[in-house]
Structure 1
Amino acid sequence: MAPRIVSSVSGSVPGSYRQELLVCQFTDMMNSKGLVWSGGNPFSFTLPVLLAQLSVAFLLSRTVYILLEPFKQSMLSAQLIAGIILGQSFFGRSNLSKQLFPPGGRLPLETLADFALLFHLFLLGIRVDPSMVKKTGRDAVAIGLTGFVLPFTLGIIAAFVVPHMMEFDGSIQESILRIVTINSLSSFPVITSLLADLNILNSDVGRTATLACSVNECCNYTVYALLTVMSSIIRHKQWYAMYYVAWATSLFVLYRYIARPWMLHVARHMPDGQPLKEIQFLSIMITTLMCGFFTELIGVPAGIGAFIFGMAIPDGPPVGSYLVQKIDTICTGLLLPAKFAVTGLNTDFFSIAANNSALIYSAVIILGYLGKFTGVLLSALYFQTPLRDAVSLALVMCCKGIIEVAIYIILKEDQMIDQEAYGLLLISMIVTTGIARPLLSFLYDPSRRYSSYQTNSVLYSNPKNDLRILVCVHSQDNVPTIISLLESSNPSRSMPISVFVLNLMELSGRAAAVLERNVYRGRLTSMRSRSEHIAKAFSYFAQKNEGVMSLQHFTSIAPYASMHMDICTIASDVMANILILPFHRVWEIDGTIGSNLPAIRTVNQNVITKAPCSVGILVDRGHIAGNLSILPGNTLFRITVLFLGGADDREALAYGSRMVGHPQIGLTLVWLRLWDHRKGFEEAPVNNVESSIDSDMISHFRANTIGYESVTYKEEMAKDAVGTTRVLRSLEEACDLCIVGRQHAPDSPLTLGLTDWSECPELGDIGDMLATSDFQFSLLVVRQRPPAGTGFSNRYTLQPLASSHGVVTN
């Protein structure tokens, strides 16, 4: 029997609202069965067509994204544009597109696309924290309300005024009300995704926008529900209004009294660091499908049910982050582009005519965007937000995303808006969001807050005040090392310290970033349990040093790409003199690299360039927190300060000088100098000033440490980098911790050529060499950010070197 060359036939038939396409499918044309070898057409079979459609949608969307990424465009915009390219507006009219997307091949694609959207909305629901609404302040409430009320009011006015100015089809009146409502929306999942994409989620603007859009979304959905009920009553379908209320009530009961308690129970009983059991994971997946099935039965899109069930799952670890990690890549990355391919196939921009209805739609949409921008801008300025930040916030709140697209599709499928309105909504969304994203990158720089801050350091601090140290903790393994370093800082009544512990966690399985002072109430999740363990360890250390040390705890949950913002924010708020960062490599006892965490390295690099205070990167090889720790008090902990000259080395010496007098610390200062320094070697005038400052500081240190047997001073001579390497290797004999500055004199023969093999530039030339496996001692690399306009004549410059054992005056 000759093989069939088609898998289906189609034709137009009258439908409920318009002419519909009727497709007759052959049931035995699912897969090609290898007929391609006998001259058959693979596009005549359902499965090959579906696989080709998915491949083309994915590859085209990724290609468009690569082209648009330099212009700060999102993956969503790229997927929409790719879908439009495949649709009737461009290649959808070609024969190749008709073969790739035949009438019989659209139904499987649309079904799979709706399946992908259902699980994507489920993941968005997981990331939502409904309790955030309770945390909003007056400014966020006002911004969220005005961002909804003003565009909604302007849209309603336009909906009633414009029709009196021109003739139009009366059937679009209800469509306009739907457009006005949806156009006033600033969706929480969309805004937080945008902020995370631009790496400003945990900035000042990002936090305000996150809270404001949660208020805006609550207002929007409330008004939309009321409009739906009123529309039902006006159409003389009171029973439908009651049906809608009963549906909403049943969903609330399901969420509040069944799904949420179940998910909280699962989260509480999950062992730390362990994934969900297979039966638990499959139960959640089946429940998601059942929620979609239930909402479909009552006439609501399946994605809404999945989204509501997603909100019942606690965001973040252990459950939320695990589900997002398990589902996100395959669902959002691979299958979701199919939804936008379908969206583009059903979009025909040539159907938008220059008629009165299109003008009315355009006027309502434009007024909505203008109203939202103006409302947010005025509210932000009222609460004394800087103008650039207020404009940036208004642009953020005007952006649209996946939630709005899903709503547009639902409205179009339910015939609540026509093809013209649908096309105009998509165009306005792509254009507005496409313009806003690069403008935000240009206008808003969160680091401006830190650049205007009066920077602090150890060297320039007032010895009468406490030394303020911000320590960053990525894991519980960092805790013993940092506590030992704090102990070596020698807190005393004459030199007290204030310690601020910032517990850093990656944002995973939730949408909103968190920066808060640690407060523990009730039963703890795995995330808070970890924070509590860290807090208890530092609190125990503070109790041992009561009266000479104060302690505060903070927690930051943020993406690694913008985590430095939280670190710099806390550093500026607490006026830290120095902040300590763990190195991104973890060393094993035998000296080999145990783990390498590039994301933490990115955090360190960003902090180094933007911190408002001095920064120390701590490389621990087990000497600080291991058997040679100073906490047990059984052995002398040997610390070497390596001094080559320059601001960073002076800061390192200022910090090292605080350790003088600690009964368990032996401090050695090694001054590495050019071998012909005593022969009258003349340097540039700037270097002469720097050399004079270095010499004076060394002299004051030596004068103020006379009589301390635990303090040793050495001078080493070298004429090039080879001599420097020889000196560094000699430190191995009697050093547990080396403290060195990050940068030294530029173009110095002592470091010339060392950068050719630099692996970690954030540690500087010397620090990078000492952090290799050739050396076994631990390392603290210090970088100073001196206050602008200060010099060595500052009255506080030398005092920290001797504040615990008498101040030398001139």
Structure 2
Amino acid sequence: MELNSTTLTCTFHPPFINSGGLWINIHRPQWWLNNSLPLLELQLVLFCFFMAIIHFLLKRSGVSKLSSQIITGLIFGCSWGKLNKGKFELFRVESEEILGLFSYFAYMLFMFITAVKMDVSMTLKTGKRAWIIGLPSILLPLTCGLLVSSFLLEGLTISEIRKLPLMVSMQSMISFPVIACLLNELKIVSTELGRLGLSSALVADMFSQCAVAIANQIRISRKNAAKGYYSIGGLCVQVFLVSFLFRPVVLWIMKQTTEGKPVSRGTTQTVFLVVLLSAVTSTLLGQPAIVGPYLLGLSLTDGGPTGFSLIEKLECFVSDFFMPVFVITCALQVDLSRILLVAALDNYTRVNIILAFVTYVTKFVCTFLTSLYCQLSFRESLMLSLILSSKGVVELSFCTLFTEYNILSRGILAWFTVFLLLIATFVPMVLKFLNDISKLQASNQNRNIMHLSQNSELRVLACVHTNENIYGFIHLLNISCPTQENPVAVYALHLIELVGRTAPVFISHRIENKPIGDQTYSENMLLSFDHFEKENSGSVYAECFTSISPHKFMHNEICKLAMDKITSLIILPFHITWTSDGLVDQEDNTMRNLNCSVIEKAPCSVAILADKGHLGSIASMASSGVRCEYTVCVIYLGGSDDREAISFAKRLAKDIKIELTVLKLGSSVEDNGTSKWEKMLDSEVIKDFKMTCLGDGRVKFLEEVSEDGPQTALRLRELVNDFDLMIVGRRKGMESSPQTSGLSEWNEFPELGVLGDLIASLDINTRTSVLVIQQQK
């Protein structure tokens, strides 16, 4: 039984839009709230202000943004006690329609952008595991929900019974946008589990949308057969209009922008107009307004770089401003005082609560069991079950829409909103906890070059961004002297930024099993490393991968692959590239941010190669059969990073084409910041290097004294042009040693350390490349 109340409200027609100003009626300053535009602006400002405060207070506890937005809406929607009069002035009846229209427009844009990024064709390309997990996770809850609902019909009206299949379909659905937003917020979208979750959600989402659409058409047809036929016909006409009118227009607009140039304001406004027209035609054809933009977004899979740039331009504004307003507006309609009273009196509400519980538990258990069947671990299966059972903004929008169509009562809306709030709050917390456990369980073995046993395989992960990185990496690996006694396994990872899509892609190229000509990704990398492996048959193993993911998550891909392949070294390219003449070619700050993230979180040693063009040219000459002598210098001051650098140099010393010089810079001043244990380790490493490598004229060991940083800098400037490659340790935390004192103040690139930064400095006109090494932390 729904509680009814009648309120008489007087409104102005036509409504006043703009205000003449606050001071027009100085004795009644709140009169300007009678104007719709100032009132809407005030509402939006209050929504954003309180949502920001609430999220700032709760985010330290792990509360998601969605939860903060719902809580904000519930606060504005609940009773304000003595301040209810002010609430009535702020949310007066005539403003509800305007605010609702604004929020619905926000949701329409959100679904358009989400649909563009979904790439429905991926459902046909995804692996068997995604189908095994995704399909049962929607079909089994749907079946169980319908079965249970057939035993709960007593006390329901015919109209309520007709609504149950639609309610079960909505409660069983898995929404791809919700899963994508959750994984992005948890920063696990590019992990193996995240990719599997997105693939499974994409499969389930397609069936979910079909189930809801079919259930809705059945409900309409049972109520009015003629209206049902009209609805089906309208949907077919909408699909036709989107495919043959709106889609070609949008693609033509996108192609008018020259690739590489920013999207113009006119292009953005025109696309807005086409999206709005598709919404208007949906309404005229008897469909919800959101159907047109959603179908239009699904059809735009080939918008090209310009289309992706347009979506990226719209996405920030929609996700950070429009969508919070939409969620708050939905929660604003919830009256929490109805929950207990309605649950005690309304059979339809109790049935929907039971069905929500049944479908959620069934979905969770089904996903957990199918994940175990697909050989996921217990922890991963539990995480995937929580991910696919999550609910978010799409489910909230369905509840609000069904309330407007009288499919749901206000009491059920209140229950579902609270249920969604609990899931949106606690599921991310549990997932973060389980993800942190997995990090703690990661291997703590020594994964560095220094602790490799003699004649053991050197495993290297080479991260490639552009073709220019390839030749320098290959030459660096080539001079590390791979032999059958000292083999090198190189895992090349091509990193590509994900643009205009939601689901990241990870490709493993089996060079030894697939012809090179069949590969469509990373062709230059595949050809180069395949040639490198064949040139060093028996001593080099090469395997290539491609990762297409957002820049902010690429470091997860790198660290995960390094752990899986048990590598001892990750090689990263420096974010500045030089021409063969030693001049600066280009600078990529996103690459620099990635390098810093990898350095902080890498499970093994890390090296950054600043190739000033000389390495690549030598590599090209060597590949053409020209014999090249190569000079390398290692600057040794002491510390774990320098020990790792000299351990790598020991491998280079075995190559007869290499002339290696190790310069140990000591100090007459006692370094109190270095422990006796560290000094003993430094002494043993130097001793081992002398015993192993000296005796050949190609290898030299020099000792000099440097009193301070400026003297060290002067000495490096004298040496830098005498060598093709200089190897230094990053020496993080040891900048205050006597030999480098004062240099940190001029450090432009901290990721290179003080010495690496000095050599790679743009002020030094040299073609000498530098390799900066950090030992596993």
Length-normalised TM-score, structure 2? 0.84
Q: Does 1:71 align with 2:61?
A: yes
Match of 2:210 among 216, 222, 238: 222
Corresponding position: 1:408 with 2:426? no
Q: How many angstroms apart in 1 are the aligned matches of 2:81 and 2:178?
A: 29
Q: Deviations over 1:596-625 (max 9, x none)?
A: 61x434432332344344321123455545
Map 1:759-770; keep pairs closer than 5 Å: 762-764=751-753, 766-767=755-756, 770=759
Look up the equivalent residue of 1:86 and give its one-letter code.
F
Change over 3 Å in CA distance of 1:451–1:342 after alignment to 2: closer
Does the alignment pair 1:173 with 2:161? Answer: yes
The residue that corresponds to 2:233 in the other structure is 246
Give the equivalent residue in structure 2 for 1:101: 91
2:17 pairs, out of 30, 44, 63, with 30
Moved more, 769-778 or 326-335: 769-778
Structure 1 partner of 2:52: 62
In the alignment, what sits opposite 1:648? 641
Pick closer, same or farther for the CA change 1:92–1:481 going to 2, 3 Å. farther
- Mean Cα displacement is larger for which, 169-178 or 253-262? 253-262
| 276, 298, 321: which one aligns with 1:311 | 298
1:671 partnered with 2:664: yes
Partner of 1:7: none
Distance of 1:142 and 1:728 partners within structure 2: 60
Following TM superposition, by how much is the alpha carbon of 1:475 offset from its aligned partner in structure 2, in angstroms? Answer: 3.9
Residue matched to 1:716: 704
- Asked whether the 8 Å contact 2:460–2:491 carries over to 1, the reply is yes
Deviation at 1:484, TM superposition (A): 4.9
How far residue 85 of structure 1 moved from its aligned partner, in angstroms, is: 1.9
Match of 1:385 among 364, 371, 376: 376
| Structure 1 segment 204-215 matched on structure 2, within 5 A | 204-215=192-203
Whole-angstrom CA distance in 2 between matches of 1:23 and 1:318 = 52
State whether residues 743 and 783 of structure 1, in contact with CA within 8 Å, keep that contact through their aligned partners in structure 2.
yes
CA shift for structure 1 position 443: 1.2
Cα 1:31–1:212 change in 2 (3 A) is same
Code of the aligned partner of 1:392: M
The corresponding residue for 1:795 is: none
- In structure 2, relative to structure 1, the CA distance for the partners of 1:265 and 1:582 (3 Å cut) is farther
What is the CA-CA distance between 1:470 and the residue it aligns to? Answer: 2.3
Cα 1:647–1:687, aligned 2, differ >3 Å: closer, same or farther?
closer
For residues 305 and 192 of structure 1, the distance between their equivalents in structure 2, rounded to whole angstroms, comes to 22
Q: Counterparts in 2 of 1:667-706, with a 5 A limit?
A: 667-675=660-668, 686-687=677-678, 689-703=680-694, 706=696
Corresponding residue of 1:506:
497
Q: Structure 1 residue 512: deviation in Å?
A: 0.9
Report the counterpart of residue 374 of structure 1 in structure 2.
365
The reply to whether residue 347 of structure 1 matches residue 331 of structure 2 is no
- Residue 431 of structure 1: aligned partner: 422
1:148 to 138, 142, 150: 138
Letter in 2 for 1:327: L
CA contact 1:447–1:565 (8 Å) conserved in 2: no
Call closer, same or farther: CA 1:687–1:477 in 2, change over 3 Å: closer
How big is the shift at 1:773? 5.1
Q: Deviations over 1:142-190 (max 9, x none)?
A: 32234324433443344343455xx566654344433322121221111
> Aligned partner of 1:143: which letter?
I
Structure 2 counterpart of 1:125, from 101, 111, 115: 115
Q: 1:755 to 1:63 in 2, by over 3 A?
A: farther
1:296-353, Cα deviation, whole Å (9 max, x unpaired): 1222222222122112222796144312222123333333333234323322122332
Indicate yes or no: 2:320 matched with 1:333. yes
Cα distance in structure 2, aligned partners of 1:697 and 1:649:
14
Aligned 8 A contact 2:166 2:216 in 1: no
Instruction: Select which of 725, 738, 755 maps to 2:726.
Output: 738
For the 8 Å contact 2:727–2:772, the answer to whether it is kept is: yes
Give the one of 259, 278, 285 matched to 1:298.
Answer: 285
406-415 or 55-64, larger mean C-alpha shift: 55-64
**Using the alignment, how far apart are the partners of 2:772 and 2:425 within structure 1?**
42
In structure 1, the gaps of 5 or more residues are 1-16, 521-527, 787-810
SS at match of 1:427: helix
Alignment of 1:218-617 (within 5 A): 218-235=206-223, 237-253=224-240, 272-275=259-262, 281=268, 283-314=270-301, 318-352=305-339, 353=341, 354-357=343-346, 358-445=349-436, 448=439, 451-452=442-443, 456-459=447-450, 467-476=458-467, 478-479=469-470, 481-486=472-477, 488-489=479-480, 497-517=488-508, 531-532=522-523, 551-584=542-575, 595=587, 597=589, 599-617=590-608
Pair 1:179–1:744, CA change in 2 (3 A): closer
Q: CA deviation at 1:191?
A: 0.3
| CA distance in 2 between partners of 1:446 and 1:249 (Å) | 50
For the residues of structure 2 that align with 1:507 and 1:178, how far apart are their CA atoms? Answer: 36
How much does 1:652 deviate? 2.0
Comparing 545-554 with 642-651, greater Cα deviation is found at 545-554
TM-score, normalised to structure 1, is 0.81
Moved more, 339-348 or 206-215: 339-348
CA pair 276-593 structure 1, distance change in 2 beyond 3 A: closer
CA apart distance, 1:128: 0.6
Instruction: Report the more deviating stretch, 389-398 or 336-345.
Output: 336-345
Residues 768-798 of structure 1, C-alpha deviations (whole Å, 9 max, x = no match): 5555556565321112339xxxxxxxxxxxx
From 161, 184, 190, the equivalent of 1:202 is: 190
Change (3 A) 1:493 1:340: closer
- Larger deviation: 91-100 or 400-409? 91-100
**Structure 1 residues 748 and 108, CA gap change in structure 2 (3 angstroms):** closer
* Alpha-carbon distance in 1 for matches of 2:344, 2:475: 75
1:518, 1:287 → 2: CA distance?
41
Task: Give 1:383 deviation, angstroms.
Answer: 2.9
Alignment length, in residue pairs? 752
Amino acid at match of 2:387: V
Distance 1:454 1:246, change over 3 A: farther
CA contact (8 A) 2:471 2:619 kept: no
Match of 1:802 in 2: none
Look up the equivalent residue of 2:301 and give its one-letter code.
P
Structure 2, unpaired ranges of 5+: 512-518
